[in-house]
Amino acid sequence: MKVGNLRWLGAMLLLAASLGDAAPAREVLLGVNTHVINYPAAQSGLLDLAHQLGVDAIRADTGWKFVETTKGVYRIPPAWDQFVDRARRRGIEPLLILDYGNRFYDDGHLPRSQEAVAGFVRFATFVVRHFAGRVRYYEVWNEWNTGTGGYYPGGSAEDYARLFDATYAAIKRVDPGALVLAAAGYGNWYADIARFGVAARADGVAIHPYVSQEPGDRAAGGANGAERSVQKVIDAESIMRRSSGGKEIPIYVTEIGWSTSTGRNGYPETDAGAMTERSLLMFAALPYVRGIWWYDLIDDGPNPAHVEERYGLLRRNYSFKPAADAFRSLASLVTHGDLTWDPQSNLAAGRVVIDRRSAGLRSVIAWQVPTASTDERVPTPAYALSCGPQLKITPFEPGASAADLALRPVPEVFTYQTNRCSHSRLLERR
């Protein structure tokens, strides 16, 4: 057996053990990212659109430089209060990112010195104290090791651990009920922050499981980036769990999305919509995922070929992309915690089976997408769901009695009742 297959078998067995026979329902936050916190004139309209999508959370930057504009003097911009209050009135939970440098400390670079770390802690404490009772979720920095925000070349996990530990302790003294997340990163980031104990000490870990196009990505029924994105989350949680004495690590997918730019790294809107549907279902089914924030709410700029300007669920004219339609249609199912991962899944083969709680019925949501391969001579194996005492994955042979239950590249609901199976498309194509 290949190493990759062993890894997937181990991951699925771990999921099955953690789920047990009757996993308790849990609520999953469903949110979006937005850059509107500093622009009060645009807040109400965009928050109304977010509310229409069914979100119950929203993520925004609260930069240090905006709070401490004079050294030692702190002031919350009025636009931030408006943003938080307007979101809460719509039933939307704010997640504030405490991030980025300040020109008074370490020349505005990543806060590494003792003075800069202390300054950042004072800033973070001031923000949390100000929003106590109105904001529960905070994320300490954003992509520390990647240079995001212009802080190249990025920082080490050891430096981040010092910043996080000091900030976490200070926030808990000010607001013990606050949920403080460790920042997302790339490369070996999750192994490194687990090694320094951050993953175990944090209330949760943020993950940004973006994937780029690979050969075979644009397969029939949509690209297979959704399945590879979920694999990143499973791998990261497994790494952090092992380094944390077996403790389950709460995961918050605070950014995920696919650009619909016309450039090299963009996807057709229909493919991005298909991946949105599948990834939301898979993330919500993982037992340790506590929240999902889409990146982002609306396209950020006018250039259709610029990859960073086309991640929105909404176009620049506020019309819904297919991804927004899928997002809105699945919001209730995702947030109510009715989905659990079925160990018959095999992401390496593009096959996903998710158990769904239904009134008195045994039902699953299942699909199979072709996996990325540069060898066109190797066909993607086909599978079907067969009926019996339980719904079971079996190899699919053309002409077999279960032909009408063959897994397709789109999520379908398979229901078992009195030794009979039926199936239907989860979401109608728009």
Same domain, yes or no: 73 and 208: yes
Domain count within the chain: 2
> Closest Cα to residue 137, out of 252, 52, 298, 43?
252
Pairwise CA distance, residues 326 & 4, whole Å: 31
Q: Are residues 113 and 248 in the same domain?
A: yes
336 and 351 together in one domain: no
Q: Looking at the DSSP assignment, which residues form a beta bridge with residue 383?
A: 395
387 lies in the same domain as 324: no
Provide the whole-model pTM.
0.89
Whether residues 317 and 275 fall in one domain:
yes
Mark which of 325, 340, 355 sits at the end of a domain. Answer: 340
Q: Are 144 and 185 in contact (CB under 8 A)?
A: yes
Tokens read off for 308? 């960073």
Residue 98 domain-assigned (yes or no): yes
Read out DSSP for 27-50?
Answer: --EEEEE-S-TT-HHHHHHHHHHH
Q: Looking at the domain assignment, is residue 328 inside a domain?
A: yes
d(CA 200, CA 182): 10
Residues 311 and 395 grouped into a single domain: no
In CATH, what number is assigned to the domain containing residue 323?
3.20.20.80
pLDDT digit string (tens) for 207-239? 999 987 654 454 433 468 899 999 999 999 999
My answer on whether 284 and 383 are in the same domain is no
The residue out of 292, 315, 340 marking a domain boundary is 340
**Rounded Cα gap, residues 180 and 244, in angstroms:** 18
Co-location of 335 and 365 in the same domain: no
Q: How many whole angstroms separate alpha carbon 303 and alpha carbon 118?
A: 41
Structural domain span for residue 407? 347-425
DSSP state string for 408-427: -SS-EEEEEETTEEEEEESS
Beta strands in 192-238 (DSSP E): 204-207
pLDDT in tens, 64-102: 999 999 999 999 999 999 999 999 999 999 999 999 999
Residues 393 and 411 in one domain: yes
Upper half-sphere CA count for residue 304 (Cβ side, 13 Å): 5
> Tens digit of pLDDT for each residue in 176-202?
999 999 999 999 999 999 999 999 999
User: Do residues 371 and 328 both lie within one domain?
Assistant: no
Determine, yes or no, domain membership for 19: yes
Do the domain assignments include residue 368? yes
Q: Name which residue leads in pLDDT, 299 or 149.
A: 299
Shared domain for 241 and 383, answered yes or no, is no
368 — pLDDT class (breaks 50, 70, 90): confident
| DSSP states along 279-342 | HHHHHHHSTTEEEEEES-SB--SS-TT-GGG---SB-TTSPBPHHHHHHHHHHHHHHTT-EEE-
pLDDT at position 70, please?
A: 98
Assigned domain for 430 exists: no
pLDDT of 154 over the 70 cut: yes
Q: Is residue 378 domain-shared with residue 325, that is, in the same domain?
A: no
Which one of 315, 340, 365 terminates a domain? 340
270 by Cβ neighbours in 10 Å (0-12 / 13-18 / 19+) ranks as middle
In a domain, 133, yes or no: yes
Position 63 in a domain:
yes
Q: Is residue 22 part of a domain?
A: yes
